[in-house]
Each structure stands twice: as structure tokens, then as C-alpha cells.
Amino acid sequence: MFTLVPSQFFNPAAARDALAEVGALREDATVEYLEIPQYDAVLVYAKDGDSVVDDSPAIYTLLSRLPDCPEYNKILCGMLDDRLYLAVAQGKSLLLANSFPARDFTTAEYFIFLSLNSLQLNPEISTICWLSQLDAEDEMALYRYFKAVEYL
């Protein structure tokens, strides 16, 4: 579980409370935070061993790599532990950072298109970037909707 808090509103002493507002937080969960300076935000997360890469939450990896996407509409995805991690920005403005349960690629596609539709982004003129490798069939499925598919 994680949430982003604008830097100007972040209070380290209230990090646990900020996270508890977005979901059920176990009483024994360790709450930590990381600054995301390129988006003027702080990532607050529960450290429970799930979806952690190199001692950081998977969404932090996406947010760190999102500026590497080549287009103005930056769409970066990754799959880990049956979850889709998705971060979307326009230029330097972060629009979305979320994760969704996705046991299969069709479910991941559903959440990608739902998110892009809610943000009013046209996939046909956008490049989608991935941190995790896709099999050839899944990559070809994305090419039906996106201008390009790239790996970071």
C-alpha cells in the first residue's frame, strides 16, 4: 500500500496517518517514505515485503524511471507479484501513480486503458514503456492500440 503526498503538505510525524487514510493498515506495519523531487511529492508506503525491489516499493522504481520515457505523454508500466504498476505523466506533471491487481495481461490492459481514458489520453498517439519484459503476443496486442511499445 502506498500514497503520494505533495511535498508542501507532508509531515513525517503524520506519515502513518496519511497512509491509513487510503486503506486498511496493519497495526504492525512499518511505514516509511521516500522523496520524489521531480514531482515535488513524497511517497509514503507500508513496508511489508510485498512488491519491494532493492528495498524500495515497485511504484518508486516506476516514478524514478518515468522521466526516461521519450514522449510528452509518459506512460510507464511494470508487472510484479500479480500486480500492474502504472505511472503516467504529461511533460513534468505527474497525472497518475497506482497499482492494480492483474493476474493476467488482459486484466492489465483493462486497467491501462481505463486509466488512460479517465485521463483523456489517446493511446494511438502515445508510446507505452515497460520495465518488465512482455512476451511477443502481449507486445503485439499493445501495438494494436499504441504508436509504439518500448522497454526501459
Among 131, 132, 126, smallest CA distance to 147 is for 126
Query: If the chain, 152 residues long, is cut into consecutive pieces of 10 residues, what is the mean pLDDT of each piece?
Result: 94 94 88 94 81 68 95 95 95 95 96 97 96 94 96 95
pLDDT at 47: 80
Q: What's the CA gap between 28 and 9, in Å, rounded?
A: 25
β-strands 2-6, 41-47 pairing:
antiparallel
Measured CA to CA in angstroms, residue 41 lies from 6, 7, 8, 23, 111 at distances of 4, 5, 8, 19, 24
Q: What's the CA gap between 119 and 111, in Å, rounded?
A: 12
pLDDT at 50: 52
